[in-house]
């Protein structure tokens, strides 16, 4: 072959490379050919390229099939993956080493349209004697490399036919096909990423234990997550077939807030279901377009009960005490414990009767922890320690705008928060008469209504009430409703005062001595027998609380008070003053308030009157000094 036959530079350079690869002009087939399992594996690995290129191979073959051309696809190494052509031309191709599995790279078969195009990285045409081996002199080959989305060559598309049919338009057609394949690969990857991102987002949204859907400002519901059906009771198809105002009563208000203020809207609302209404916690978030204009709203609905249960677990609204932590062996006391255990699972109201300091709340917590409601909230509220003007909102909650200072979105009351569990109403005898009517309605109907609301909220709450008063006497005086008394007095539990269970005093002394010394990190004090006899003969008007306070005083001072009678000038606190302790004015006030409260059995009104201050001032000082009654 003379140099005059090689008139293009890239052909000349390719021939030099072919010579260096030791390719012989008389070589008949490729130096590397895959077959059987290896070829099948290769085709499987390149299946995406083959499937993407196939339609374009068919298209260009349709243009040239009457001209004895074949369409060939290779991978980046020049391995033929597939060939398209009629039977006659395919037979010639196979005889001339053009067959699936044959490697067409220059290092295997010298200069050719596929191998040289892959090397040069551009579309090119090789015809007749421009091929390096004589077997290919009969062909004209137009090849164009195919690149992935990162610009890396992953294959080559080629049209091979009789050398006499060579035409410049053939190369243009092949280059266009390669470009189309690249675009399709790019689209496939984009669609794959979209699909993957869609599944990713759907997985995240469906993983939330909430019902989530979006709606445009015309009320059309669009995207819906899987939890909508379990929480709202509507299937995806049903939701997309109704308007949002059929579900959400406050739709116009929500839309205006989101549209005008671009703010997040959150509150507890009632959602219309197929057969009833359900209270849910709803959050609404605006979706913005590229001009930062809200055009859609994403709604997130959570079950109010589950949200509150989680909050209660975090905040610690749980009963702590259990019956095994209640100390005593007195026969009447044990009867009270056993009766409380027996009725702990009952839905009926429990009324705990006992003097101040007998441990009524501890008993209430033990009942809760012995019941099937043990994992649910335990909410305690002292009806005598909350100002009259606040107790209604504390118990029943309020709606936004119900009164001056009401929080945005409103606030749930203690009954709502206790839903599923127990509410403990301590000092029920001090509840204002007008609120007694509302409490009676809650007990009878099992619903509550917030201040300023028209909706009734169904609740499942077991009520445990407690008092140190005689409710029968309060009924006679007109301070307590007769019907409420009988509603509360279904399961009465009477806690005996400490003076009636004196055999338990040594047990309680030992218990408090260990617990308080451990808490204060101080050593235990040995109680002499004579002093224990004295404790056994004392009447304990302050009951167990008074005994606990005495033990704490003994541990702190590491001394035994001479006398503990609260009616004696030489009581435990006075003895403490006389021992020469230098107390600040605040400490004196703290101890004096505790002394008067004990003396009058935690009667708030009487204590405030004796101290010459208002009830509200007394409440504030009790909170300041952490004084409980």
**pLDDT tens digit sequence for 16-68:** 999 999 999 999 888 899 999 999 999 999 999 999 999 999 988 888 777 78
Residues 175-195 have a mean pLDDT of: 91
Q: State the distance between the two ends of the chain, measured CA to CA, in whole angstroms.
A: 115
pLDDT per residue as tens digits for the range 111-123: 999 999 999 999 9
Mean pLDDT, the chain, rounded, equals 85
Q: Does residue 196 form part of some domain?
A: no
Please report which residue ranges of 83-167 form alpha helices under DSSP H: 87-95, 106-109, 113-120
Residues 323 and 436 both lie in one domain: yes
Q: pLDDT band at 561, cuts 50/70/90?
A: confident
Q: Based on the domain organization, do 428 and 345 belong to the same domain? A: yes
Residues 252 and 281 in one domain: yes
Residues 489 and 511 in one domain: no
For residue 248, tell me if it sits in a domain: yes
* Residue 312: predicted pLDDT: 53
Q: What is the CATH number of the domain that holds 91?
A: 3.30.450.40
Are residues 147 and 218 located together in one domain of the fold? Answer: no
pLDDT in the model for residue 308: 58
Work out the burial of residue 455: count CB atoms within 10 Å of its CB; fewer than 13 is exposed, 13-18 middle, 19 or more buried: middle
Examine the domain organization and report whether 487 and 407 are in the same domain. yes
Q: What is the mean pLDDT of residues 78-84?
A: 94
Instruction: Please check whether residue 343 lies inside any domain of the structure.
Output: yes
The CATH code of the domain that includes 462 is 3.40.50.300
Global pTM value: 0.54
Domain match, 447 and 517 both? no
In a domain, 594, yes or no: yes
Query: Distance (Å, rounded) from C-alpha 71 to C-alpha 61?
Result: 6
Q: 500 CB contacts (<8 Å, ≥6 apart)?
A: 330, 332
Looking at the structure, tell me whether residues 185 and 213 fall in a common domain. no
Question: Based on the domain organization, do 569 and 604 belong to the same domain?
Answer: yes
pLDDT-based confidence at residue 576 (cuts at 50, 70, 90): very low
Who contacts 137 (Cβ-Cβ below 8 Å, separation ≥6)?
A: 128, 129, 131, 163
Q: Which of 97, 275, 74 is nearest to 155 (CA)?
A: 74
pLDDT tens track for 199-249: 887 777 777 778 888 889 898 998 888 888 888 888 888 888 889 898 888
Query: Residue 34: CA atoms inside 13 Å, Cβ hemisphere, count?
Result: 19
Q: Is residue 200 part of a domain?
A: no
Is residue 618 assigned to a domain?
Answer: yes
Tell me, yes or no, whether 486 and 522 share the same domain.
no
Report yes or no on 597 lying in a domain: yes
**What does the alpha-carbon distance between residue 440 and residue 333 come to, in Å, rounded to a whole number?**
30
* CA pair distance 34, 51, nearest whole angstrom: 20
What pLDDT, in 10s, does the model give residues 326-356? 999 999 999 999 999 999 999 999 999 999 8
Structurally, how many domains does the chain consist of? 4
Q: What is the predicted pLDDT for the residue at 306?
A: 61
Q: Are residues 478 and 545 in the same domain?
A: no
Q: Which residues of 385-410 are buried (b: 16+ CB within 10 A; e: fewer)?
A: bbeeeebbbbbbbbbeebeeebeeeb
The encoded tokens of residue 420 equal 């599923």
296 alpha carbon, distance to own chain's centre: 23
Co-location of 281 and 340 in the same domain:
no
Pairing of strands 153-162, 69-75: antiparallel
User: What confidence score (pLDDT) does residue 271 get?
Assistant: 81
Confidence grade of residue 275 (pLDDT, cut at 50, 70, 90): low
Instruction: Write out the residue range of the structural domain in which residue 116 sits.
Output: 3-190
Quick check: is 155 in a domain?
A: yes
Query: Could you say which of 282, 306, 330 is where a domain stops?
Result: 306
For the domain that residue 228 is a member of, what is the CATH number? 3.30.450.20
Rg (CA), the chain: 45
């Amino acid at each position: 072959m003379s140099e005059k036959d090689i008139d293009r530079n890239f052909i000349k350079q390719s021939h030099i490379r072919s010579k260096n690869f030791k390719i012989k002009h008389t070589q008949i087939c490729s130096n590397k050919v895959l077959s059987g399992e290896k070829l099948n594996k290769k085709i499987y690995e390149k299946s995406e390229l083959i499937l993407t290129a196939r339609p374009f191979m068919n298209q260009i073959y349709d243009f040239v099939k009457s001209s004895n051309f074949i369409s060939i696809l290779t991978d980046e190494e020049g391995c033929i993956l597939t060939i398209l052509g009629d039977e006659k031309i395919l037979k010639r191709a196979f005889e001339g080493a053009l067959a699936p599995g044959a490697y067409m790279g220059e290092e295997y078969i010298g200069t050719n349209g596929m191998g040289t195009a892959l090397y040069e990285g551009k579309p090119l045409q090789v015809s007749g004697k421009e091929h390096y081996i004589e077997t290919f002199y009969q062909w004209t080959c137009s090849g164009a490399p195919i690149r992935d989305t990162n610009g890396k060559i992953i294959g080559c598309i080629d049209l091979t036919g009789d050398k006499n049919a060579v035409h410049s338009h053939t190369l243009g057609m092949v280059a266009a096909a390669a470009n189309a394949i690249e675009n399709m690969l790019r689209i496939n990857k984009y669609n794959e990423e979209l699909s993957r991102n869609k599944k990713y987002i759907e997985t995240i949204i469906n993983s939330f234990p909430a019902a989530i859907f979006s709606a445009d400002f015309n009320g059309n519901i669009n995207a819906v997550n899987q939890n909508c059906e379990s929480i709202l009771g509507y299937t995806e198809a049903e939701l997309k077939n109704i308007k949002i105002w059929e579900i959400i009563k406050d739709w116009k208000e929500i839309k205006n807030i989101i549209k005008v203020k671009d703010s997040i809207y959150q509150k507890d609302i009632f959602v219309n279901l197929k057969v009833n209404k359900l209270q849910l916690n709803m959050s609404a978030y605006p979706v913005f377009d590229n001009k930062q204009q809200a055009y859609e709203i994403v709604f997130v609905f959570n079950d109010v009960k589950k949200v509150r249960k989680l909050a209660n677990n975090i905040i610690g609204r749980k009963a702590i005490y259990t019956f095994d932590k209640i100390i005593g062996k007195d026969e009447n006391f044990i009867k009270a414990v056993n009766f409380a255990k027996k009725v702990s699972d009952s839905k009926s109201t429990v009324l705990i009767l006992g003097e101040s300091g007998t441990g009524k709340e501890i008993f209430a917590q033990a009942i809760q922890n012995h019941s099937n409601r043990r994992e649910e909230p335990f909410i305690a509220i002292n009806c005598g320690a909350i100002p009259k003007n606040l107790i209604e909102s504390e118990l029943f909650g309020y709606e936004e705008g119900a009164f001056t200072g009401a929080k945005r979105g409103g606030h749930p009351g203690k009954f709502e928060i206790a839903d599923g569990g127990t509410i403990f109403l301590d000092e029920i005898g001090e509840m204002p008469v007008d609120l007694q009517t509302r409490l009676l309605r809650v007990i009878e109907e099992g619903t509550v209504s917030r201040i300023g609301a028209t909706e009734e909220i169904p609740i499942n709450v077991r009520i445990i009430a407690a008092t140190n008063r005689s409710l029968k006497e309060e009924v006679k005086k007109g301070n307590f409703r007769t019907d409420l008394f009988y509603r509360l007095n279904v399961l009465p539990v009477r806690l005996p005062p400490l003076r009636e269970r004196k055999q338990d005093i040594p047990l309680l002394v030992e218990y408090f001595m260990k617990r308080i010394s451990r808490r204060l990190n101080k050593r235990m004090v040995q109680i002499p027998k004579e002093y224990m006899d004295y404790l056994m003969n004392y009447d304990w008007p302050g009951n167990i609380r008074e005994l606990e306070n005495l033990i704490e005083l003994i541990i702190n001072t590491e001394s035994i008070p001479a006398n503990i009678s609260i009616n004696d000038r030489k009581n435990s606190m006075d003895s403490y003053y006389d021992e020469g302790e230098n107390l600040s004015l605040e400490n004196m006030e703290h101890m004096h308030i505790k002394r008067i409260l004990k003396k009058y059995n935690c009667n708030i009104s009487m204590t405030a009157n004796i101290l010459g201050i208002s009830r509200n001032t007394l409440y504030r000082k009790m909170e300041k000094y952490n004084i409980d009654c």
